[in-house]
Amino acid sequence: MSDIFDEVEEGMRQDKMESLWKRYRPIVYGAAALLIGAVAVNEFVLRPQMEEARSERAMAFETAANLLEDGDYAEAQAAFQELVDSDSKISPLAAQYLAQAQYEGGGDSSGAARTLSDVAAFEGGPYARLSILKSAYFTVDNQSLSELEGSLGSLLEDPGALGSLARELVAAKAFESGDIARARTEFNRLRFDAAAPEGVKRRADIALAAMPAAPEAEIPADTDTQEETGAAAPATPAETEETGQ
């Protein structure tokens, strides 16, 4: 008897599923068609368009770079500005070259710094920190030492190559400002900075060689003579005989 009831329940479930399928079948078919259509549009329409646009931007960047190399700064600025305004992945890189064209073409250090500041404020990637450093280079002549340190900010604590370049800029500014002690300290640190590029270390050596010798007041305590640090003096012959050594 229980088998009969099970068969009846199974039949009712099948009827209900069939009814639901008939009701929602058009929706299911429509959703499947939309999915297939979206995939087709992406593969055969949107993706080729994106690839074409990417290729066009790459060609435009190469053209702008050639204009910059040839010294055609006005045309280079216009070409790089268009790439920056495209708000694409190549925009942050184009901004670096746009700033270079602005600075080299007309000495527009303020314009170059503004271009780089926009990248530093919104890009958030590796070009952001590079933009901070470049902007500091472009405006270093118009800043005091404390202002320069403020504009570099946390970049001065960066353990990598960019941090070394930032600290080199601070050392040079300190020397220019007459703070020889600060400049000597910073250049000495750069000489032994494992992350500093070799060029930075060489320039630090050259700068230190050009500076006047440090006065005794600047010599750290750990460089004093052995007598001042309590090192034992050599034993005299009489002492050797007396001790039997």
| pLDDT at position 125 | 65
Q: Would residue 160 count as lying in a domain? A: yes
The length of the chain is 245
Residue 126 and residue 35 share a domain: yes
The verdict on 40 and 119 lying in the same domain is yes
- Structural domain contains residue 7: no
pLDDT at res. 168: 93
Is the residue at 86 inside a domain? yes
Whether residues 170 and 115 share a domain: the answer is no
**Among candidate residues 113, 132, 151, the one where a domain is terminated:** 132
62: enclosing H helix or E strand = helix 47-69
Regarding whether 206 and 169 lie in a shared domain, the answer is yes
d(CA 139, CA 128): 17
**What range does the domain containing 116 cover?**
27-132
* 125 and 34 housed in the same domain: yes
Cα–Cα distance between 133 and 74 in angstroms, integer? 24
Total domains in the fold of the chain: 2
Query: What is the C-alpha separation between 208 and 217, in angstroms, rounded?
Result: 17
Query: What is the pLDDT, as a whole number, of residue 211?
Result: 87
Is residue 77 in a domain?
yes
Residue 19 forms part of a structural domain: no
Distance from first CA to last CA of the chain, Å, rounded? 115
pLDDT of residue 208: 92
From CA 150, how far away is CA 242, in angstroms rounded?
A: 65
Q: For position 49, which CATH number holds?
A: 1.25.40.10
Listed in sequence order, the residues at least 6 apart from 153 whose beta carbon sits closer than 8 Å to its beta carbon are: 132
Asked, for residue 70, whether it belongs to a domain, the answer is yes
Q: What would the DSSP string read from start to end of 124-170? A: -SHHHHHHHHHHHHHHGGGS-HHHHHHHHGGGGG--SHHHHHHHHHH
Residues 105 and 127 in one domain: yes
Contacts of 82 (CB under 8 A, 6+ apart): 60
Same domain, 151 and 91: no
State the pLDDT at residue 227. Answer: 39
Q: For residue 192, tell me if it sits in a domain.
A: yes
Of 167, 175, 173, nearest in space to 196 by CA: 167
The answer on 159 and 110 residing in a single domain is no
Q: Could you read off the pLDDT tens digit of each residue along the chain, which spans 245 residues? A: 555 545 545 655 666 666 766 676 677 667 766 666 665 555 555 556 567 667 777 888 888 888 888 888 889 888 888 888 887 777 888 888 888 888 888 888 888 888 787 777 665 566 778 888 888 888 888 889 999 999 888 888 888 888 999 999 999 999 999 999 999 999 999 999 988 899 999 999 999 998 887 776 555 554 444 434 344 444 444 444 444 44
